[in-house]
Amino acid sequence: QVITAPGAWLLPGLVDLHAHLREPGQEYKEDIRSGLAAAAAGGFTDICAMPNTLPVNDSRMVTEAMLARAHEVGGTRLHPIGAITVGQRGESLTEMGDLREAGAVAVSDDGRCVTNSAVMRRALEYASVFDLPVIQHAEDHALTEGAQMHEGSVSTRLGLRGWPRVAEDIIVSRDLLLAEYTGARYHVAHASTEGTVRLLREAKSRGLRVTAEVTPHHLLLTHEAVGLYDTACKVNPPLREQRDIEALRQGLADGTIDAVATDHAPHATIDKGCEWSEAKPGMIGLELCLPLLLGLVAEGALPLARLVTSLTQAPAGIARLPDKRIREGARADLVLIDPEERWTIDASCLRSKSHNTPFLGRTVKGRVKMTMVAGNVVFESTPRSS
Ligand code: DOR
């Protein structure tokens, strides 16, 4: 079969280390079928699903059920991430060996940061027995209780309690010390501050086994986007300031930040179309990640090669997935992109069940035309000429 696509780019299939698919438990926001369809439309051939489901993915049973559902649906591959602790906000560790055996590729906090140092130390030690990276949503809750957005001029203007950068930096710096002490693999989820970038750079220069990811929204938007309480911009960690954006872009460009991850966090209209204080944090990202970041490449803010590595080879390495590079004999996990096509982001073109994104109405350049998983077409935007 010959696929003709003049002017198109052929890239390795994309890998997302951080998606919230909501199944089991909140299928009205997203389920594995709609989540995988959104992933395929976004050019992702592999996505890792966070454990803050209902129930939390803290057992072999939940991991296996998610994988069984994903196999039934087909298309983009799903890789569950198990919880670090049992139950919501639990303190005893999960059976990480069982999780790993069942197919989990990492362990993570269940959406609530592990702030207890003794628990984190044990988690790192235990996870390293199974070569699982420990992913942390770094946030010192003592500093963010009741916080609604980034602490700064906008939170002051809007009269909202602020979430200071240092809440992230404190946890990252403690965790890096623990990662060094234990020799374990540690991964920072959605880095959002200049301090985190500085800490990571220093840790990496000393050879620690640490990795990190950044989201498209933290690379593109500041707290100013919140405007007059736009709930689409409510997200954890919050949108920061220009200096954080600059540091994150620099960190991604020079490899201090390894990967781009979407933090795809679908929420129903009812969860966002309410008062700011009631609104749930999070935005969808699977279908918008690549086109939004191609904009950064076009501006000259990020080299294309780094963008591609940070969405393919780097996250695949962290999750220990097979090599993504395109080469003779490799399995055909591919995404075909029209780099010239301009389109406007509109709810009607999204496969996700939820449409919570501040990027609706934005015109972007670059569109996924086809996604292939192991040689099978799992998404195609227009009929192909052959
Ligand atoms: O804004 C967020 N929403 N950040 C997270 O880390 C979790 C996510 C969710 O699950 O909704």
Between helices 242-254 and 194-205, what is the axis angle to 10°?
30
Atom 1 of ligand 1, residue of closest alpha carbon = 282
Mention every residue, 6+ apart, whose C-beta is less than 8 A from residue 270: none
Residue 325: per-residue pLDDT: 86
Of all atoms in ligand 1, which is nearest to the CA of residue 20? 10
Query: Which residue shows structure tokens 């998610």?
Result: 66
- pLDDT of 161 above 50: yes
Residue type, 323: D
Residue pair 307/260 in contact by the 8 Å Cβ criterion: yes
E strands, 313-362, are 334-344
Which residue is associated with the tokens 């280390």?
17
Taking CA atoms, 183 is separated from 131, 134, 186, 204, 285, in Å, by 11, 12, 9, 13, 33
- Encode pLDDT of 69-105 as tens digits: 999 999 999 999 999 999 877 789 999 999 999 999 9
What's the mean per-residue pLDDT of the chain? 96
Whether the bond into 237 is cis, omega within 30 of 0: yes
Distance CA 381, CA 268 (A): 25
Q: Which atom of ligand 1 is nearest to the CA of 236?
A: 1
What pTM does this model have?
Answer: 0.97
Contact yes or no for 23/55 (Cβ under 8 A)? no
How are beta strands 162-163 and 186-188 bridged, if at all?
A: unpaired
Rounded to whole angstroms, the Cα distance separating 235 from 149 reads: 8
Structure tokens at 82: 């198990």
Among the atoms of ligand 1, which is closest to the Cα of residue 235?
1
Contact (Cβ atoms closer than 8 angstroms) between residue 258 and residue 318: yes
- Helix pair 165-182, 194-205: axis angle to 10 deg: 20
The two three-digit tokens of residue 35, written as one number: 């989540």
- The answer for residues whose C-beta is within 8 angstroms of residue 261's C-beta and 6 or more apart is 16, 17, 18, 189, 190, 213, 214, 215, 315
Gyration radius from the chain CA atoms? 19
CA distance 358 to 347: 11
From 48, 163, 235, mutation site for ligand 1 pocket: most ligand atoms within 8 A of C-beta? 235
- Using CB distances shorter than 6 Å, the residues near ligand 1 are 20, 52, 111, 137, 235-236, 263, 265, 281-282
* Residue type (1 letter), 4: T
pLDDT of residue 3: 86
Q: Is the pLDDT of residue 383 over 60?
A: no
Percentage of the chain beyond pLDDT 70 is 99
> For 178-236, what is each residue's pLDDT tens digit?
999 999 999 999 999 999 999 999 999 999 999 999 999 999 999 999 999 999 999 99
Model confidence at 309, pLDDT cuts 50, 70, 90, reads very high
* DSSP for 34-86, written as a single string: HHHHHHHHTTEEEEEEPS-SSS-S-SHHHHHHHHHHHHHH-SSEEEE-EESBS
